[in-house]
Amino acid sequence: MHSQKIGIVGSGNWGIGLGIAFALSGHQVIIWTRSEEKVKLLNDSRSHPLISPQAFPKTLSFSASPDEIMDSSVIVSALPSQVTLSVWEKSFVGLVANQTLIHSTKGLLSDGSPYISERLSKLTQKPWSFLTGPTFADEVARQLPSAMVLAVPQLTEDYANLRTILSSKFLRIYLTDDLIGTQICSALKNILAIASGVLDGLELGHNTRAALMTRGLAEMTRLVRSAGGKSETAYGLAGMGDLLLTSTGPQSRNRKLGRELVRTGNLHDAQKTLNGEVAEGQYATEIALKLALTHNLEMPITEAVHHLLSGRKPDDVMKILLARPAGLES
């Protein structure tokens, strides 16, 4: 493996966790955060209590300078989806040259193409890949065995080499050319995780969760296929894999949001419990429904989550779902 300089745009838990993993694999990693104060804190303390108990690798550093970040051969954007385009347009687009560009943001966008890779490609006039999969930041940072999928514009030798560069003995990365399917899956699983959290709050048991995840996977697969993606993507790491993790894992922000929706009774108070972190599913729900409408698809679980986020009572939403006729399984 050839050591690379990797720049990561975004210093949330995922950006730092991924940066630690890459640095432990022998790469030089520099992570951007807009706050000079946070840069000093992280560079001086050399640790992050929520992500990894050990000190940061020596090859990991932080900077508030876009120029320093973009002076890298590989760039990974790890910003929340709602701010990705604005941050890139303001601070980074003019510095794009010959870097390999990857985004690792799980969400859909409104007002245009919902796919972040397409919007970033249009903004920068360069191709973008998408790195996703069933991963919690702290487990990746602690080098617990994990698997991800890298969706690329085309299956070429250069992208195969990129997969090898980013992989390690603890992080297995697979390749696909299904950029649309992986991005839909990465957004839909967050919506379904909110629903899973609602089941937690209502104490509806394991049978209900199994039904939710199975029928949710069916919704995901139909939308992926209708939008031009591959059905097998929904059954892989970006789809079923990430759905399993996010709907059952104790660290899932989207699952927590659903649980807190039941406890607090409203979205505003539920969001407060996330302590400033972002549950991407709440933003993806309406966009996913609009995308489904363009393909003449029904997505009852996604629609139910939209009702919950809009203030409908969980018991009422469950009654609506359970009143739907059950036909052929598909």
**Known catalytic residues?**
189
Q: 92-128 in b/e burial notation, b at 16+ Cβ within 10 A?
A: bbebbeebbbbbbbbbbbeeeebbbbbbbbebbebeb
Pick from 170, 148, 142: nearest CA to 48:
142
Pick from 290, 271, 297: nearest CA to 282:
271
- Which H or E run contains 287? helix 281-294
Pick from 3, 5, 48: nearest CA to 29:
5
Pick from 75, 78, 56: nearest CA to 6:
75
Q: What φ, ψ does residue 129 adopt, rounded to 5°? A: -105, 175
Dihedral of alpha carbons 188, 193, 199, 202, sign: negative
Maximum Cα–Cα distance for the chain, whole Å?
60
Q: What φ, ψ does residue 246 adopt, rounded to 5°? A: -75, -25
Calculate ∠ Cα 122-232-330, nearest 5°.
115
- Cα 78 to Cα 75: distance, rounded to the nearest angstrom: 10
Count CB neighbours of 234 within 10 A: 27
28-32 and 60-63: which strand pairing? parallel
Is 75 strand, coil or helix? Answer: strand
The token pair that represents 2 in the structure block:
């050839």
Is 43 strand, coil or helix? Answer: helix
- Cα 21 to Cα 173: distance, rounded to the nearest angstrom: 13
